[in-house]
Amino acid sequence: MSIYTVSFPDSKSLPLTVSEHQPLAEVLTVQNSPILFGCRTGICGTCLVEVSGNVPPPDEDERELLEVLAPDHPKARLACQLDLTGDVAMTPLQSA
Ligand code: FES
């Protein structure tokens, strides 16, 4: 199983490691990351982040919410919906 690194360039938090297919909402909450979560199911938008790195494209539901929350932000994603396939850096975003 692959292990990926999640870093938080705009915060003092140290990078965290996440196993392949591990739910990010779970790992990041337990490890006290700067990313906050609410619903964890892709509905509330609390976990809106800007992501740098290679991640699979958003599914239809995530894309629809991103169009509302961050219409001008091509790197915006919902952290709770990310299934990592590589190392990423993420920064919390304010929704529009
Ligand atoms: S925690 Fe609600 S959309 Fe991610």
User: C-alpha distances in angstroms, 94 versus 7, 39, 71?
Assistant: 18, 17, 12
What integer pLDDT is reported at residue 37 of this predicted model? Answer: 96
Tally of CB atoms within 10 A around 48: 23
Domains of the chain, residue spans: 3-92
Rounded distance, CA 6 to CA 14, Å?
9
Tell me, which fold does domain 3-92 have in CATH?
A: Ubiquitin-like (UB roll) (3.10.20)
- Show the ligand 1 pocket: residues with CB < 6 angstroms: 37-40, 42-47, 78, 80
| Model confidence, pTM | 0.94
Q: Read off the pLDDT of residues 35-50 as tens digits, 9 standing for 90 and up.
A: 999 999 999 999 999 9
Q: Read off the pLDDT of residues 4-31 as tens digits, 9 standing for 90 and up.
A: 999 999 999 999 999 999 999 999 998 8
Rounded distance, CA 7 to CA 72, Å?
23
The CA 42 to ligand 1 mean position distance, Å, reads 4
Ligand 1 atom at shortest distance from the alpha carbon of 79: 4
Ligand 1 atom at shortest distance from the alpha carbon of 36: 1
Ligand 1 atom at shortest distance from the alpha carbon of 47: 4
Rounded distance, CA 65 to CA 96, Å?
11
